[in-house]
Amino acid sequence: MAEYPQVGHDLLEGRRIVIGVSGGIAAYKTCGLVSALKKRGAEVRVVMTENATRFVTPLTFSVLTGAAVEYDMWAERAEDALTHISLQEFAEALLVCPATANIMGKVANGIADDLLTAGIMAASCPVGFAPAMNCEMWHKPAVQDNVAKLRERGCWIVGPCYGALASGAVGEGRLVGSQQLIACLERMLLEQQPPGIDLRGRKVLITGGPTREYMDPVRFLSNASSGKMGHALAEQAAAAGAEVTLISGASQQIAEALGFAGEFETVEVASAAEMLAAVQDNIAGVDVFIAAAAVVDYTFAEIAEQKIKKTAERLTVELGRTRDTVKWVAASPQRPQMVVGFAAESQDVVSNAAAKLADKKLDLIVANSIVEPGSGFGADTNRVSILGPDDFRADLPLMSKWAVAGAVLDEVARRLP
């Protein structure tokens, strides 16, 4: 199979990102974020508040970034040092992580009394805040008012999430994970420099998440799919101007917790049969169908109406094949112009995906390993190969599922008439 030029490239590679660190206990977690950004090829500079240096030393971030760390507004300036003015010339995106109530309050009310707040005020790039604080503080009206002001002015807010806090309390106020922070940065960069995918006037139908095949009211057969890939595809397609419907085995609450909240319709289903029925109900007039769902291949021949009691040492059940949704779509009289499948494999990934591509008569198939670290079910990242029936093959590097979605849709848009 011929090697074609890479369809998508890592959204972060070569991009100039400023990470602002304010004085919260979660500052130590920012070290992991900076390290992950560097591994993705981003050029990272760190600006700290004076209070932040009490939690993590500037030397730590300097070692991680390979660049001087700025924190003193009045320090002697080297030729390549960032000032609040040169910061706006360097940064393509600026994320404050962690963002304390103090720094968000300052920015929301126009106060710029240190290097970081002055840099934010002068910034011409997208600016984001990743709040982290005590749960009681987060819910105070003054804090929420300031967050609302920042949102209204176009700032990105990512988090906080619910969990255990440094104080010992449990509640909303915990800094979100590195992958959610990175996904936010990717979206900020796309806002500044959109990828050029144009799906205006197109109707896109996507399946995502797992399906569940119930044996009785409480037990079911399923898999570890989180629904992240399907939601990322739906949000990216909607951002590219398409009319999007997502049929998902992952609930909307899960999607919102993952940070996906795009302008698209969501149809929630449970079983493979329900997913196929929903696809059949929505296939009319669709231009692009993308089957990203991890559909269970087998279902129970008989479903017990009551919970099966634990009696015998062994339980034998009969399973039957579920219907193949993407194969049905590809053979349908209402077949869309583009039918795209996904192949999650544990071995011979590309060859198995190529066989599915031919057998199901697809226009593209996206193959990934479910056993490779950082790839597959539940992960925030994925490493995929995109295959086409014309011997097309594009191998993408490990990147976030949001970035993978952009690469897939880029190739879809290129192939549409």
- Residues 66 and 45: their CA atoms lie apart, in Å, by 9
Give catalytic status of residue 223 as yes or no: yes
Output the CA–CA distances (angstroms, integers) from residue 250 to 202, 210, 227, 245, 365, in the order listed: 24, 7, 5, 14, 22
Report the sign of the C-alpha dihedral through residues 181, 182, 186, 189, in that order. positive
H/E segment holding residue 281: helix 272-282
318 Cβ neighbours under 8 A, 6+ residues apart: 300, 301, 302
- Residues 400 and 375: their CA atoms lie apart, in Å, by 9
Catalytic hit among 223, 352, 368, 382:
223
Is 269:278 a contact under the CB 8 Å cutoff?
yes
Strand order in the sheet with 203-208: 265-268, 243-248, 203-208, 288-291, 338-345, 364-369, 384-387, 393-395
User: Per residue, what are the HEC states of 101-149?
Assistant: HHHHHHHHCCCCCCHHHHHHHHCCCCEEEEECCCHHHHCCHHHHHHHHH
Angle at 355 between CA 352 and CA 356, to 5 degrees: 90
- Residues 9 and 407: their CA atoms lie apart, in Å, by 8
Kindly report the backbone phi and psi dihedral angles of residue 399, in degrees, each rounded to the nearest multiple of 5, phi listed first: -150, 170
- Checking DSSP bridges between strand 384-387 and strand 364-369, what pairing results, if any? antiparallel
Is 125:93 a contact under the CB 8 Å cutoff?
yes
CA torsion 369→372→376→378, rounded to 10°? 160
For residue 4, the one-letter residue type is: Y
As annotated, the active-site residues are 223
